[in-house]
Each structure stands twice: as C-alpha cells, then as structure tokens.
Structure 1
Amino acid sequence: MSNAVRNLLVELLVEEMPPKSLWKLGNSFATELFGQLKAQGLLEETSRATAYASPRRLGVHITDVRSGTPERVEKKKLMPSSIAFNPDSSWSQALRKRLAKDEIGEIDIERGNFSLVRSVDGTTEYVYLEGTNGGEPLRELLNLCLIVVIRNLPIPKAMTYQLADGWTDETFVRPAHALVALHGTDIVPIKALGLTAGRATRGHRFEVNDKAVELRNADSYEHQLETEGAVIASFVKRRDAIIRQLKAATAEEGLNMIEDEALLDEVTALVERPNVLVGTFDRTFLDVPQECLILTMKANQKYFPLLDENGRLSHKFLIVSNIRPPDAGEIITGNERVLRSRLADAKFFFDQDRKKTLASRVEGLRRVVYHHKLGTQAERVERIWAVAQAIGLQLGGNELAAQAGEAAMLCKADLLTDMVGEFPELQGIMGRYYAKHDGLSDDVADAIEDHYKPRFAGDELPRNLTGISVALADKLETLVGMFGIAQIPTGDKDPFALRRHALGVIRILIEQEVPLPLDTLLREAENVFNRRINDTSETLNRFIYERLRHYFSIESFDEQALESSKRVSVEPADRIFSPQQIDAVLALRPQMLHDVKKRLYAVRAFAALPEAESLAATNKRVGNILKKADVSINAEVDAALLQAPAEQDLYHALSRIAPEAEKTFRDGDYSTSLQILAGLRGPVDGFFDHVMVNTEDESLRHNRLALLAQLQQAMNRVADISRLA
C-alpha cells in the first residue's frame, strides 16, 4: 500500500474558552494528538508539531504525516504443537486462550486474516501465528486519536450543550462549531463532537464579522487566518506581539511597566488581534494605596499599570484591545470610564475603613470561624500572640516581646475591612496602611504586613525582628494546629498550604539566621493549644525535615532566596549539595536550622578529602557493629585493658584529636572540626586491620565496643558521616 506523506492540520473552532486554561489546553491538544499519531505509526522521524490556541480555537499543524499505516507481515511464536492441538487435530483449550489474548478467533483464521503455521525450532515443533497488520487509512486512525485527545484534555470545568438536532448532547470545554482536518490539500472526513471535518474556519468575530475562511491546504492555515481572518492563531506569536506593543507604548510614555507573566498569558488568551492603547485616570485616585489600584487594574480589568522612575504608580495604564479601529478614542474612553468606577469603589473602601481603628476590629474576629475544630479567628490570634511574645522575648527581650505581641494581636484585624473583603490578596498589606494611619510604630505596622511572608517561593522575608516573631508564630500555629487535628497534606492535596508554611519557617530561620531551636519553637506553639489537639511532635518534625531536605536539594534549591539574603554570600557552585551530603547532615536532625548550611559546606569539604571515603565506610561499619552488640555499651574506656598496639594507637589518637575537634565544633567551625577528625584515618584503619572486636574475652569485647562508641560519637557531631559511604 502506497502512503503519501503530507502535512496535517487539525482545528477545533469553539466559543470563547476560559483564558486561564487556554495555554495548557492548546499545548495538550497539540502534544497529545502528535503522540497518538506517532503511536499509530503515522509519523516520520522528521515530523514536528506546531500548536495553535486562541480564544476561539485549538489547533495543531504536524509535518510529514502518512496517509495510512503500511501493511506488515507479523509472525508470532505461540506454543509447542503438542500443547496447541488435541489428538484429533482440533484446537486445544490452551491455544484458544492464547489466541483470545490477541482477540483472534476461528472466524479470523477461516477468513484468511491470520493463519496458524507449524515449524520446527531445534527438536521441537511449534505453532506460529502469521498475519498482516497495518494498512489502516489516516481518516480512521485520526478519528480515533482525536476522540482520545478530546476525552483526555485537561478541561477545568466541562460544559454540556445541545447540538442543532435538538436531541443530542455533547460535552466539551465550550460548544464546538466547526472542525477542520486537512492532509495537504485533502479534507480528512473525520467526525468529533457532532461535527464533520471540512476546510472552513472562521475569522475574527469583529474585525471581519466572523467571515468564513476557506483554507487552501494545511500549510496555509496560519497565513490565511492572519491575512483573511484578522487572527494571530499562534499563542506564542500573539504573546510576543503584545510584549512588543507594550514595550513600545511604555517607552513612548517614558514610564515602566509592571512585569506579570500570569497577566500576560491571560490577556493573550483573551484577544485574537491585539492592539495596545494608553489610558489615563484621575490623579486624585493616587491617594489610595497603590497596591489597591494595581490589583484593581490587573485583576478586574486586565490592564497593565505603569510606574514612574521612582517606582510609584502613575495615572496612566495600558489596555490590550481585541480590535483595531481607525479611531481608538471610544475604546480608550470606555475603558477609562469602567476603570474610574472601579477606582472609585477602592477609594470608598479605603476611606470607610480608616474610620475605624484596627484595634476596634479585633473583637469582631470572635464572629469569624477559623476552623470548626480550632475555633474562631480571635482564638487563633490569641495563640499567635502568645507564641509571638515568647519568640520576641528570646530574640530581643521585653521590648521586642511587647512589640511582637501588639503586632500579633492586630495581624488579622484587616480581614474585617471592606478593602480586604473585596480583595483578599491585600490582607496584611492593608493592615500595614491602616496601622500607620492609627499612629502605630513602623516596626509594628511592617510586621502586620510581613507576618504573611514569604507568600511564595522567592518572596521577600519579614524586614525586622518584630515581623520575624509574628511570621514564625503565625506559621507555627497553623502547622501545629492542622497537624494536631490530622489535616496533613497527602499527595498533591494541601488545602491549608502547610508545605508553604513549613518552607516559610525554614527560610526565615535559615536565611535570617534566627538563633532559635526548632524543637523549642514547636513546643511553644503546641503549648498554646492547651491540649486541644493531639501530639504532633514526631509527625510534624518529620514533615519539616522533609521540606528542609527539599529546600537544600539540587533540583529545588531556591537561588533567588539566597541572593536576596544579605547575610549569605556564596558562589553558584556552593549552592549544590549532593543527596548524600544532605542526608548526612539531616540524619542528626539539627535543631538550629540557621547553621545547617554551614554543616553542609563542612561535609562537602570533608567529602573531598582523600580520607573521607575510608572514614565514611569505617563509620558505617562501626555503626553496624554497635547495633549488633548484645549488651549496653559503656562509653568509658579502660586504658589498662587495651592490649593490642593498634587499639592503643586509636585510643591515644582519639584522646588527642577528639577534644580538639570538639572545641572547633562548639566554636561553630564545622569544616575545621571534620578536617581534624580526618587525622584518625590511619589509627582507625590500623584498628580494623589488626584488632578483633568481638573477641571471646567479655571484658576486652566490652572495652573495644566502648572505644568504638567514643569514635562514633566524635565523628558524628557535625553529621552522620556513615551516610557518605
């Protein structure tokens, strides 16, 4: 069968799709159809896919697609003839079962689709199944593939709609109106979603009045849509066009645009022929906090706010329109009018909110449920207040404790304001503005905003000790409380963002070098629940150390966070630690997280020493010996029982080196401590070469076990060195 190889185009024309899902839907449609066709043997090695996605269409262009699969003769070895046939030459039950697995019955053999052939292999006669596979045309396989792709698309919420016959229902992301399938110049007559494929698509809904565009061939799709249909079909090209226009307009105005990749993707998914315009609003609105105005413009209207050279919001903004009329004045005026009412609402909320102090709102939190097992937001605030005061006391004494307590008591009060009710994303931010308006100190006001930080990977950390105290208290209260009522993340499900809270605790303790032990912090947080929850210590500890492992792993280490930390200065190569090095440090569960990084650097430097491999292996051997010991080991060594010269050498070396290593360890010089311990390699190797630990003499055995226990204790102060083996 001769198979022509041509380029293929498939497009689904639908009603406007959800903009936040379009990029994912477009990519999935293209990659899945490409993969399905490849699996069917319809593609060449040179085949490539190009995805198209606009508000009203999902499409893919695939090069070098065969018009059908080639026929091929297949021969499959089944079983020995003696098992395949009964004495009367009829099929045995074993043969029927084997053929049933391949969905082949006697009718297929009778029709000649397949045949059973006997052939000798060595000394045994076997039965082989011979048949012709392939030869399926593109139209059949493409139809099957498209149905599978449609069924598997990552549709966030499907819509069920009725077809034109008034009886049949279909389910898709949005109602589909046309299907295009072209193999070169030929229509592939496939069917899907109640549609039969043709060559006609439709252009821009407004620019060309939804005019039909008759596609000449698969390769003319993109060009014809742009020239005849006023549509840039490629999501990537449309996005690039928007970026170019945004930059040109920004430069012309002498202002700076706020970069927002998510907003850019969403706007790209809303337009088919982008046209960037400049709008303005009344400068009096600039008295409202710029975060409110920016969020209003971006979230509600999908505008791009512009900043001046000082980073302050200007009264100009950029509109990405979907049409290009000769005179854009009416479009600009209409958008300005809509924005004006939005900004007026924001100004009204801001003015109304400032009529009440934050302190006067705290009592209202008693009417807001936090969690039915953990009480109201007021009860939660009281717990955060207690933990924040305890942390503040340890970090800065009574004055810091008082400030932390004041900020903690007010940190959730802005949840009851009109502005946060309208824009939940502004919680904390508005609290800071209202605290400043109430005359509170900068430290307290900043802490009210900062206690939510870090909100996401790479986000800023609290800017002062008051903020650190409240941020830690807030996150610890959430972690302990949720773990205490068994609301533990499973798989991808983490409704209370506990992974983010744990990472926030880790980042604050490490990157801001907070000298507080983790176990003490968790105990403080658990105490404020007054036995209202179950014990969480072991489960929560394990969870936090798993996040810590993730934080330091090669794949997920947050370089941006490191660069933002003013107290840490390391080269890019220093940011990478091997899994074994991370495992060695975290095996000891160090409670002072701020020096875990120093331990990792020390372990990495130690691992590069020529003595490291031998000492790690020996350390592992020592651990195994001590685990198998059938007696409790006394760490005191009796020097008088040291008979062999090798064990005497190890004892004297350990007596000399261990105190020196311990001193540098206590001084926080972990690298030097491990380098000093590297000097034990010779005596350790000599001990295991010439000394039998498990001797029959009980007193000698116990003494040698004690010597090994001392060795293990000395070696594993910085990390569990055996994990490097």
Structure 2
Amino acid sequence: MPDLLLELFSEEIPARMQAQAAEALKKLVTDALVERGLIYEGAKAFVTPRRLALSVHGLPGRQADQKEEKKGPRVGAPEGALQGFLKSAGLASIDQATIQSDPKKGDFYVAVIEKKGLPTPDVIAEIVPDIIRRFPWPKSMRWGSGTLRWVRPLHSIVATFGAEGDEPEVVRFEVDGIEASNVTRGHRFMAPTPFTVKRLDDWMAKLEAAKVVADRERRKQIILNDAKDLALAAGLELVEDEGLLEEVCGLVEWPVVLMGAFEERFLDIPDEVIRATIRANQKCFVLRNPETGRLANRFLLISNLVASDGGRAIVAGNERVIRARLSDAKFFWDTDRAHKLDSRLEKFKSITFHEKLGSQAERIARIERLAVQLVESGVVKANISDVSSAARLAKADLLTEVVGEFPELQGLMGRYYAEGEKLPPEVAAACEDHYKPQGPNDRVPTAPVSVAVALADKIDTLVGFWAIDEKPTGSKDPYALRRAALGVIRIVLENGLRVDLREVCLVSFEQHYHRHGGSMDMRVYFESASNQKNKTFETLADLLSFFADRLKVYLRDRGARHDLVDAVFALEGQDDLLLVVRRVEALGRFLDTEDGKTLLAGYRRAVNILRIEEKKDGRAFTGPTNAALLKEPAEEHLAAAIEDVKARVKKAVAAEDFAAAMTALSDLRAPVDAFFDAVTVNDKEAALRENRLKLLDEIRAATRGIADFDLIQG
C-alpha cells in the first residue's frame, strides 16, 4: 500500500519545542486522514533543528465510495418544499428520488446520494495546507510579505505519495507561495546542495549522506555513546544528564562530541556550581574523576559539524567562554563566603513573600516558631537550639550571589555556606533538606532537625495560602500547594511521625491571625460551637480535607483502595496521618479475608433494611435496644456480641492495635448471619420491629469504631 512522506524544512526550531511539534504533526495529519476514511497502518514523526517530518505508511490509494440516503418531504408536499429538497440533494427532478412508506407518517421521498471517493493525494493536498497554517506552535512569527505564521521562516515542503517499488508522485499544493515538491536539503554547512527524495527509506538514507541524522532517538544515542567512550578514554566518567541530552539533541543534526578543559583552580568551587555554570551557559556535559568522586577539569561539548581542524577551534572557543563563566562563579562563591548567613537576615524585612502574607522575615519567624513547637510537642525529637537556628538560617542563601545566578541551587548552597561557618552538621543539612521532597521521586529528609524545619516550612505555606483563599483550582497550582501537602504526607509517613494535623495547623493559623493584630486564642475560637459556620473555621476544615485528598492520591499510587481511605477519614478526629494509614492497611487486610467479605455483606443487608424502613417511617431508628424485647435467641446473641465487640474495638483502637480491632470485628460475622437466618426484622408487633431495627443500627455503630462501612465499595 502507498506511503506518505511529508517534510517541512525551516530555519532552526527551538529545541524545547521540537518533541511536542513532532507529536502534534503526527496527530493532526493522522486524525485528519482517519476522519476522511483513510485508515493507515502506521505513522512516525521526525524532527531535527531544521525540519519537521512525518511518514504515514499503509494508506489506501483513494477514499471508498459512499452512499447516503437523504430523507425528503412527504409525497404531495408543497412545491417549495420539493424544490428545496431537490436542490439540497443535487437531483434534477423528483423522479430521481425513491418513495418509502412509514406506517405512521405515510409516504415520503428519499434521495440516494452517491459520493465518489477522492484519490488520496487529493485528500492530502486538501488537509495539509490547513494543518500548516493553524499549527499549534507555542510561539510563531510572520516574515516578509506573506501571511503564514511559523516558528521560524519556512523554506520548503516535501510531500510525496506512492507505493514501494513505484515512482512516488508529488502531492501538489502550496502554502503562502511555497509549493510542495520532492526536493530537500541536508546539513547547512557540510551538504547544502538540494537533492530529491522519494519515500521514507530514501529520505533517511540521503539525509544521512548529507550529514543529517533524522531520527531524534538515534541522535541521542550517538551523543550518549560517543560521550561515554570519550570520557572512558580519558579515564573519567560522564555525569549523565537526561534533560541536557534532550536539549543538545535538538541543537544538532550531525552530532560530534569533543572534549575541552578548564583550569584546575576552578575545582575549588562546589561541583554543583561548576556543573550549573557549564550546563546553563554552554550546554556542555561535565566529567567525574572516579578516583576522587569529584568533578574533573574536563567537559564535553556537542558540535554540529566535522571541523577540518578536528574541532580545535570549536573547543578553544568554548574553553574561553567557560573560563570566563567559571571566573564569575568563583567570584560569587568567594564573595558569598565573606559574609555569614545571619548577616543577610535583616534584608528579608524589605522583601515581600506575598502581599497578603507579609515579608520574608515574617515568614521565617513563623517557620522558626512552628518548628520549635513541633519539637516541644514531641512530634520531632531534636535539639531545640539546632532547630531554631536551622529554621532561621534556612532561607538565607536566597540572598547570595550564587543562588541569584543559579536559583536551582537554593538550599544546597545554604548547606555549603553553613558548613563553611562550622555550624552544627544538623543545621547545615537542614538548610538543604528543608525544601525536600520537591516531587514524588525526591528523597525525604530523615534527620530530626531537617524534618522539623521542612514540616514547618510546608505547613506555614499551606495555612497561609488557605487563609487568604489562594487554593489550587483544577489544573492550576501556582504556589505548588499540592506538592507541599504531599511533602508533608511523605515526611510524616516515611519517618513514622505522630502528628495531629489539626493541632499543628491551629498553631500556624494562630500565627497568621496574630500578624493581623488579633489576640484571640485561635484554638478556643476554632473549637467554639458558635464559630463552626464561620469562614475561618471552614478554612481549617477545608485544609484538612485537602490533606485527605492528597493522602488518597499518595496511597492509591501505592496500590491502596481509595474507598478505604474515604471510609476511615469519614470518622471524626482522623488527623493523625500515620494512624489513618495503619487503619486503612488493617481494614484492607481484613476485607480480603472471608470473614471480612461476609461481614461486609451482612452489614450492607442490615443497612439497606434500615434505610428502607427509616424512609418508610420518616424517622431514624437509633440504639440502644431494649433488652426486654429481645425475644429470639439469635437476636439476644447478636446484641451481646455487639456490646462485646464494641468494647473490644474501642480498647484496641485506643491501644492503636488495629489488627486486634479487626479480629474483634470479625466475631460479628456469625451472629449477624444467624440473626438474618432466624429473625424476621419487620415483625407485625410494632415494638419488636422497632427494637430489631435499632439492633441493625447497633451493627452500624459497632463498625463505626473502625471506619464508615457505607463508603466501602466492592
């Protein structure tokens, strides 16, 4: 079957846009083909700095013919209606229509319209120009006197269609004066002469001969393999960088890896600063000395051509730039170390964190107080002096020269500066780790001082933005509050911390409240029944609900059932994340057993009966039951079992022994089954009926010691 080859040749496409553009071209073209009835076997997109291309193979030679029935007016309809029908159906006279009968509506005219399928090249010539004109570039430009907007000036279009073994035809169309052809160009400098291409294999082979590697993944592998080989030959190791590899792959069509060097005196700078400098300014890879574990004074650059001098001039040019950049970095590093971290704190008073949340200095003070409170309340066992010092200094590196130049090094540089000042190792570590975890794959701080500051930092952020009603909405989360909440959850769970979130958030809310001149004890305020409908009270509840939602996401990603999280969180006072997780895990294990499944079925039967009868009577049936009205042995046994189980569950939950609580709950299985086998709930005697319905409610009450079984699915 025939194949389509499409290439859009232009000036350099920004590297960051290339992968997305290739996928967009593939989707737009293939969707348009399928929409027009042209089903294909496969498609692959290609992108280099100067070309965006697509191959679609296994296309039919033309569209299938189509028949369409168009319903017209009734027989005997007015002349105007008939003429309108003939015109819309493309018929010369009503005799060309057929008559169909409908038992209800009578006879009516039907036109059978036959539509001949177009040759596939004609369809391609129809759809591609429109796709080019409305292509979704993040940024585009218009040049010259034309109207086309493209990411960079578009020079030529290749569009061929044909089966293997045949001479493909050029699909004829034009876009803004650029006519499609079978002519393209190779490398800008090493093979600028135009040449003709036929189909995909011919296009790729001729481009390779013209010093262009069209396949993006192959270019990446060439760069990575050559870089590793060159490093190995020098006795060094490549510091791999997937993000940089993606970027440099989009900068070259014919990758050539070259090695350069810089003076050893620059190795006094931290490795991360050297790497950031070389990466950001020259898009070069750094190398590690395997003997020392530190960076070597070598780097690898990716050239886009084979130079006649072996690349010496290219390397020398890069070395000059890197030498200058590293000189700046060394100046910043030396300047920063001349001033202690605490000398920078005064400047934070004039820096606004958020117009509604005050200055950075105010925020740092809140974080310090909250971190100390976490230690004083026993959540974290750490030295209070170290925690106070770490919380106060953790943000100080934001005002250093190195972090000003490379913001991604914040925290890390704080650790280096703290170590240089001979501050306690726990304080230095907290300066770096209090930002963590910054994503699902980032490590979680485990040192107690780091944990206290990291929790305080994230909770202050969440409470502050909730207090001013700047919460995430849909896909928008400009302040990364979802990440902050997930960070709190991971720190708590992975360190096994016992944290009463409600209590900690109350402390933080109180700090924000006092900043605005308030003097009320926020704990008393929040716990007052008269304020429970107040917006501020609802804010706390909403924040705790947000934590619950994030916990569901966290547990679901680890295979837990979200309905069990809902069932546990539905109970009051579930603010201890570690206990919530332990309860969910125990509940999940219980429900996987035969006892758990049977009890859940019995529970649902009881609750369904109870709901039906409550709806019928228009009132709720709540326990306790009247022992004098327990007539049947099965209901007496069930009532006794419920009282016993409730007491054991309460005791086990108080001892945080959730396995024992589940064992106690499993003892309800047999009495519940026996009750439904032997007892008629809806007895004719009203008093007995009411008492038995209350007994069903007692089953619900017994399970509520563990979770809200109403929310359990499956």
Q: Normalising by structure 1, what TM-score?
A: 0.87
Tell whether 2:6 aligns with 1:28: no
Note the aligned Cα RMSD (angstroms).
2.8
Tell whether 2:382 aligns with 1:382: no
Partner amino acid for 2:663? Q
Q: Distance in 2 between matches of 1:175 and 1:328?
A: 30
Tell whether 2:567 aligns with 1:577: no
Corresponding residue number in structure 2 for 1:676: 664
Q: Distance in 1 between matches of 2:414 and 2:111?
A: 77
Corresponding residue number in structure 1 for 2:587: 603
Q: Does the aligned pair in 1 maintain the 2:289–2:296 contact within 8 Å?
A: yes
User: Please, which moves more after superposition, 186-195 or 465-474?
Assistant: 186-195
Q: Distance in 2 between matches of 1:111 and 1:461?
A: 80
1:148 CA displacement: 4.3
1:143 CA displacement: 3.2
Aligned ranges 1:245-644 → 2 under 5 Å = 245-309=226-290, 311-326=293-308, 327-395=310-378, 400-530=383-513, 532=516, 534-535=536-537, 536-553=539-556, 557=557, 575-588=558-571, 590-622=574-606, 625=610, 636-644=624-632
Corresponding residue number in structure 2 for 1:157: 139
Cα deviation code 1:481-525 (max 9, x no counterpart): 112222121222111111111111111111111111221222222
Q: Does the aligned pair in 2 maintain the 1:180–1:197 contact within 8 Å?
A: yes
Cα deviation code 1:681-703 (max 9, x no counterpart): 12112334444667687876675
Secondary structure of 1:109's partner? coil
Corresponding residue number in structure 1 for 2:653: 665
Cα deviation code 1:587-619 (max 9, x no counterpart): 337322123333333222212222323322333
Which of residues 100, 124, 144 is equivalent to 1:119?
Answer: 100
Q: Distance in 1 between matches of 2:100 and 2:110?
A: 7
1:268 CA displacement: 0.7
* Closer/same/farther in 2, CA of residues 526 and 621 from structure 1, 3 Å limit: farther
Q: Distance in 1 between matches of 2:417 and 2:253?
A: 42
1:111 CA displacement: 9.7
* Closer/same/farther in 2, CA of residues 481 and 694 from structure 1, 3 Å limit: farther
User: Please, which moves more after superposition, 642-651 or 499-508?
Assistant: 642-651
Q: Distance in 1 between matches of 2:571 and 2:673?
A: 25
Tell whether 2:160 aligns with 1:179: no
1:676 CA displacement: 3.0
Q: Does the aligned pair in 2 maintain the 1:170–1:194 contact within 8 Å?
A: no
* Closer/same/farther in 2, CA of residues 697 and 591 from structure 1, 3 Å limit: farther
Give the total of aligned pairs.
680
Tell whether 2:91 aligns with 1:135: no
Q: Distance in 2 between matches of 1:407 and 1:630?
A: 61
Partner amino acid for 1:605? R
Cα deviation code 1:154-197 (max 9, x no counterpart): 422222322xxxx3332122221111111132211122254211
Q: Distance in 2 between matches of 1:111 and 1:153?
A: 44
Secondary structure of 2:587's partner? helix
* Closer/same/farther in 2, CA of residues 334 and 425 from structure 1, 3 Å limit: same
* Closer/same/farther in 2, CA of residues 105 and 411 from structure 1, 3 Å limit: farther
Cα deviation code 1:79-99 (max 9, x no counterpart): 6xxx5355455526xx95xx6
Secondary structure of 1:379's partner? helix
User: Please, which moves more after superposition, 405-414 or 497-506?
Assistant: 405-414
1:107 CA displacement: 7.8
Q: Distance in 2 between matches of 1:366 and 1:507?
A: 32
* Closer/same/farther in 2, CA of residues 606 and 134 from structure 1, 3 Å limit: farther
Q: Distance in 2 between matches of 1:481 and 1:308?
A: 46
1:465 CA displacement: 1.1
1:661 CA displacement: 3.6
Corresponding residue number in structure 1 for 2:206: 224
* Closer/same/farther in 2, CA of residues 672 and 534 from structure 1, 3 Å limit: closer
Q: Does the aligned pair in 1 maintain the 2:287–2:296 contact within 8 Å?
A: yes
Cα deviation code 1:393-436 (max 9, x no counterpart): 22378963332222111122111111111111111111111112
Partner amino acid for 1:669? D
Secondary structure of 1:50's partner? strand
Secondary structure of 2:594's partner? coil
* Closer/same/farther in 2, CA of residues 426 and 534 from structure 1, 3 Å limit: farther
* Closer/same/farther in 2, CA of residues 267 and 57 from structure 1, 3 Å limit: same
Which of residues 69, 73, 81 is equivalent to 1:91?
Answer: 81
Partner amino acid for 1:600? V
Q: Distance in 2 between matches of 1:519 and 1:305?
A: 47
Q: Does the aligned pair in 1 maintain the 2:555–2:561 contact within 8 Å?
A: no
Q: Distance in 2 between matches of 1:153 and 1:473?
A: 46
- In structure 2, list runs of 5 or more residues that go unmatched: 163-167, 517-534
1:471 CA displacement: 0.8
Corresponding residue number in structure 1 for 2:526: none
Corresponding residue number in structure 2 for 1:145: 127
Partner amino acid for 1:578? R
User: Please, which moves more after superposition, 444-453 or 477-486?
Assistant: 477-486
Corresponding residue number in structure 1 for 2:146: 168
Secondary structure of 2:549's partner? helix
1:584 CA displacement: 3.0
Tell whether 2:194 aligns with 1:201: no
Cα deviation code 1:294-342 (max 9, x no counterpart): 1122222211122233542222222111112241222222212211111
Q: Does the aligned pair in 2 maintain the 1:584–1:724 contact within 8 Å?
A: no
Partner amino acid for 2:172? P
Q: Does the aligned pair in 1 maintain the 2:379–2:497 contact within 8 Å?
A: no
Q: Does the aligned pair in 2 maintain the 1:392–1:469 contact within 8 Å?
A: yes
Q: Does the aligned pair in 1 maintain the 2:89–2:111 contact within 8 Å?
A: no
* Closer/same/farther in 2, CA of residues 528 and 215 from structure 1, 3 Å limit: same
Q: Distance in 1 between matches of 2:131 and 2:426?
A: 55
Identity value in percent = 35
* Closer/same/farther in 2, CA of residues 512 and 145 from structure 1, 3 Å limit: farther
Q: Distance in 1 between matches of 2:70 and 2:147?
A: 47
Cα deviation code 1:547-567 (max 9, x no counterpart): 1111111xxx2xxxxxxxxxx
Tell whether 2:48 aligns with 1:54: yes
Tell whether 2:714 aligns with 1:721: no
Q: Distance in 1 between matches of 2:237 and 2:470?
A: 44
Corresponding residue number in structure 2 for 1:214: 196
Secondary structure of 1:717's partner? coil
1:635 CA displacement: 5.3
Q: Does the aligned pair in 2 maintain the 1:183–1:218 contact within 8 Å?
A: no
Which of residues 651, 654, 674 is equivalent to 2:639?
Answer: 651
Secondary structure of 1:718's partner? coil
Aligned ranges 1:5-44 → 2 under 5 Å = 5-44=1-40
* Closer/same/farther in 2, CA of residues 154 and 669 from structure 1, 3 Å limit: farther
* Closer/same/farther in 2, CA of residues 527 and 147 from structure 1, 3 Å limit: farther
- In structure 1, list runs of 5 or more residues that go unmatched: 558-574
Q: Does the aligned pair in 1 maintain the 2:380–2:448 contact within 8 Å?
A: no
Cα deviation code 1:258-287 (max 9, x no counterpart): 332221111111110011122222222121
* Closer/same/farther in 2, CA of residues 20 and 641 from structure 1, 3 Å limit: same
Q: Distance in 2 between matches of 1:238 and 1:450?
A: 37
1:716 CA displacement: 3.0
User: Please, which moves more after superposition, 193-202 or 413-422?
Assistant: 193-202
Cα deviation code 1:22-49 (max 9, x no counterpart): 11111221232122222222344xx211
